[in-house]
Each structure stands twice: as structure tokens, then as C-alpha cells.
Amino acid sequence: MTDSSLFAPLLPPCVKIAEMDPRDSSIGALEPAEQRVVADAVPHRQREFAAGRQLAHGLIGDLGYPRTPLLAHPDRSPRWPEGLVGSITHCEGRVAVAVGRSSEVMGIGIDIEPCAPLPAELGPLVLTADERRRVDAWSAEDGSLRSRWVFSAKEATYKAVYPLTRKVLEFSDLEVFGGPMGFVSVLRRQAPPFPEGTSFVGHRAAVGGYMANAVVLRPT
């Protein structure tokens, strides 16, 4: 477990963040109830799951909470201890976890992706018509990377708002507007408690072949 040089600049100090290579994880380090969740999973899935739980346990402990199994809701989202909110993300070679107190943050969404073009067949599923027009103004290579950024920004936004809405959003329900160091995701449908048109501000960075996006919702 290491501090996250990728996500740390994107998050407020009240949010704890750590990351690791899943190859350094051990399913044997998990609680028995957690081990049972992935007992029949393929090895790489076991390693990713174990890494996420190992990181989460460390951060939860840093916040003064006792160690208990970190299991999941029926929708498979993590069931964080009462008083905490968090987010887990992984891609090939990297797992990251962010955790904060619910008194300081309402929601956290982080997403990590490789700095590689988004598969062409996913573009029409991920991007709105306006987003496609903005992406098409870039060169072919930059446009593909831009599509990956949009995908990741939507994933981070969705993770931040889902624990509050419990509503499944389609990619078309969010529209992303990017900037040099951040982005804004605009909600294109009502998702109580958020009305249509709500904007969520996020931050982004790229380090060591990975791109990261993060959204933190603060209490109003």
C-alpha cells in the first residue's frame, strides 16, 4: 500500500487515498467473509478484489474505525462502515481507494484508466452527440484519448452520486465538458436528490501511463 501520487492532488485533504499494484495483494490477508466473495473468481479478479479491500482496511483504520469485513450491497457497491463514504477503482496494474467521513464529504468517485484510446465500438455508447462533435474536432489519436477521458469522467461522477441516488444512470444521462486540469459533468435527467441540470465539478491528471478522474461532493 502506498500513498497515491496520482489521485492525491485531485482530492481535498479530508479524503484519504492509497493505491497499489494488485499483484502485491494477498487474498489470504482478507477477512474470511471477504475471501468467500471471490473464492470462485479467476485469479486476476481475486487480486483486484484483495487489493481494494486491503487498501480500504488501511484507510478505514487510519480514520479510527475498527477492522470489519467490507462486503457489498445487493447492487455490488461497497458497504462502507457507518459514517464513512468511499470509492474503489482498478485497471490493469493499478488499484486505488479513497475514503472520507460522511460529515465532511457526501460522495466520492474515483476512476483510473490506461492512457490508451477508448475502443472505437464504445465511443457511440459513451459519448452524447455534442460530445462526439467536440471529440471529432481533435486529431484521430487525440480524439480517441479524449473519449477515454470522457468515459473516465462519467465513471467517476457516477460513483460519487450513486450512493445518494441509488439510480442507475446511462452514459447519455451525463454530459462532460473538459478543461486543462478538470471537467464538469452535467446531469441530463432528474436523479433525486439532484435535479436535471445539476453540475458536478471534477479534477483529472495523468501520471505514469494512467489517467485519473475524481469527483468529491461536499455537504451544502
Instruction: Give dist(CA 42, CA 148) in Å, integer.
Output: 26
Q: Is the pLDDT of residue 7 over 90?
A: yes
- Tens-digit pLDDT profile for residues 55-101: 999 999 999 999 999 999 999 899 999 999 999 999 999 999 999 99
The Cα 47–Cα 12 span in angstroms is: 28
Q: Enumerate the β-bridge partners of residue 98.
A: 17, 87
**Alpha-carbon gap, residue 131 to 77, rounded angstroms:** 28
The arithmetic mean of pLDDT across residues 205-216, rounded, is 92
Residues whose CB is less than 8 angstroms from the CB of residue 215 and which lie 6 or more positions away in sequence, other chains included: 107, 108, 109, 110, 156, 157, 159, 160, 185, 200, 201, 202
pLDDT at 42: 94
Residue 59 · residue 93 · CB < 8 Å: no
Is residue 137 within 8 Å of 126, Cβ to Cβ?
no
Please state, rounded to an integer, the average pLDDT across all residues of the chain: 92
Helix locations, the chain, DSSP H: 32-37, 43-62, 123-126, 129-136, 140-165
pLDDT of 1 higher than 70: no
Ordered DSSP codes for 173-209: GEEEEE-SSEEEEEE-S-BTTBPTT-EEEEEEEEETT
* Residue 204 near residue 145, CB atoms below 8 Å: no
**What is the per-residue pLDDT for 207?**
87
Residue 189: what are its φ and ψ, rounded to 5°?
A: -150, 160
Contact of 183 with 202, CB cutoff 8 Å: yes
| Residue ranges of domains in the chain, CATH in brackets | 2-105 (3.90.470.20), 116-217 (3.90.470.20)
Find the distance separating the first CA and the last CA of the chain, reported in whole Å: 33
Q: Kindly report, residue by residue over 26-37, the tens digit of the pLDDT.
A: 999 999 999 999
**Of residues 218, 151, 145, the one with CA closest to residue 185:** 151
Q: Rounded to the nearest 10 degrees, how much is the dihedral formed by the CA atoms of 45, 94, 1, 26?
A: 20
The upper half-sphere exposure of residue 41, i.e. CA atoms within 13 Å in the direction of its Cβ, equals 15
Residue 110, classed as helix, strand or coil, is: strand
Task: Please compute the mean of the pLDDT values over residues 175-193 and round it to a whole number.
Answer: 90
| Cross-strand pairs, 186 | 175, 199
- Residue 3's pLDDT band (cuts 50, 70, 90): low
